[in-house]
Structure 1
Amino acid sequence: MPNRYAGTEEDRAALDAYVKLWRAAHAVEVAANRHLATYGLTVSQFAVLEALYHLGPLSQRQLSDKILRSSGNLTMVIDNLERDVLVSRERVPTDRRVMRVTLTPTGQELIGRVLPEHVAGIREIFALLPPDDVTTLADLTRALGLAVAQRDSSDR
């Protein structure tokens, strides 16, 4: 049984790049977020806290767009953060359909403790590569992401 896709050389090159990108992204995500369990946080909960910390209060829709999570999943994440008194929700007076999510003082204090450790962990991961490779990686992944987004928006 062959262990390689029998398509064209271009097919195999694209699949090889995709698999390597996915595996590397997964390995980096696992390593970068391992410490969150120490604080009782999931990756999605951390993403919400981090977005609110840097951007201020946001609607659930804005948070969903910012952290790339579905609104259904985000509702449960915010429910759990609210239960733990890390965020609060309030209706926007000018549009009662919209819920604004805000960090509580407890949430502010927690993300203030977690974020420096998170950044240090990411820096440690990328220190495994030479600085020029990190720059090249950032440039290539940005270019790929923008090209896919542009293609997808023109397909609509």
Structure 2
Amino acid sequence: MGTHYQGTKAETDALNAYIKLMRAAESVTARAHSLLPKEITLSQFGVLEALLHRGPLCQTELAGKLLKSGGNITLIVDNLEKAGLVTRERDKEDRRFITVSLTPKGRAFIEELFPKVAASITHEFSALSPAEQFTLGWLCKKSAPPVPRPSSQPPDASGLPIAPSSPPLYFKFKA
């Protein structure tokens, strides 16, 4: 289903692409979410996955990786801590810095669950060739560059990262 908006061609093209992107994302996300135990949210799964693959992280890093606010990541980590899946430790030199780590229970939980979710996502994307998967990832990154986060460094002229204007040339596309 496309847009019913009667705007310019550029507007309807953009809205139709957005609708297709969101429907695909919602569909894949819903199937991945169905694999999670009912007491675990996708955001909690994201925190556990980040800690499994990146090791202990501070809450600010987790918020940035999951595109969550500081307040939201605090709530997510609170609930994971109550479930005994993560621990927090304040830095002794800078008490503002809180490191989040998996507990043995949390590690066992995510190590069992992650392969199932990864297999589901791999299955969902098997309809696309490896080159198509790469192109989809490239297009998503190009169309939605990361939102700049406040920092002490002044932004460049645009304040946004520059996306390449075309995909790498080493991929050949079939019609």
Common fold: TM-score over 0.5: yes
Query: TM-score scaled to structure 1, two decimals?
Result: 0.87
Separation in 2, partners of 1:51, 1:132: 26
Separation in 2, partners of 1:8, 1:139: 26
Q: Measure how far apart 1:155 and its partner are.
A: 4.9
The count of aligned residue pairs is 151
Which residue is 1:13 aligned to?
13
Q: Measure how far apart 1:65 and its partner are.
A: 0.5
Which residue is 1:54 aligned to?
53
Root-mean-square deviation over aligned CA pairs: 2.1
Structure 1: stretches of 5+ with no match in the other structure: none
Matched, 1:79 2:78: yes
Separation in 1, partners of 2:46, 2:122: 18
Q: More helix by proportion, 1 or 2?
A: 1
Q: Measure how far apart 1:123 and its partner are.
A: 0.5
Query: TM-score scaled to structure 2, two decimals?
Result: 0.78
Structure 2: stretches of 5+ with no match in the other structure: 149-154, 161-175
Separation in 2, partners of 1:66, 1:13: 30
Q: Measure how far apart 1:142 and its partner are.
A: 2.2
Which residue is 2:120 aligned to?
121
Separation in 2, partners of 1:145, 1:75: 26
What's the secondary structure of 1:101's corresponding residue? strand
Q: Measure how far apart 1:127 and its partner are.
A: 1.1
Q: 1:149 to 1:67 in 2, by over 3 A?
A: closer
- Whether the aligned pair in 2 keeps the contact of 1:89 and 1:100 (CA below 8 Å) is yes
What's the secondary structure of 2:6's corresponding residue? coil
Matched, 1:34 2:21: no
Q: Measure how far apart 1:67 and its partner are.
A: 1.0
Which residue is 2:110 aligned to?
111
- Structure possessing the higher relative contact order (Cα contacts under 8 Å, 6 or more residues apart): 1
* 1:17 aligned partner, one-letter code: A
Q: Measure how far apart 1:10 and its partner are.
A: 1.1
Q: Measure how far apart 1:145 and its partner are.
A: 2.6
Bigger drift between 58-67 and 29-38 goes to 29-38
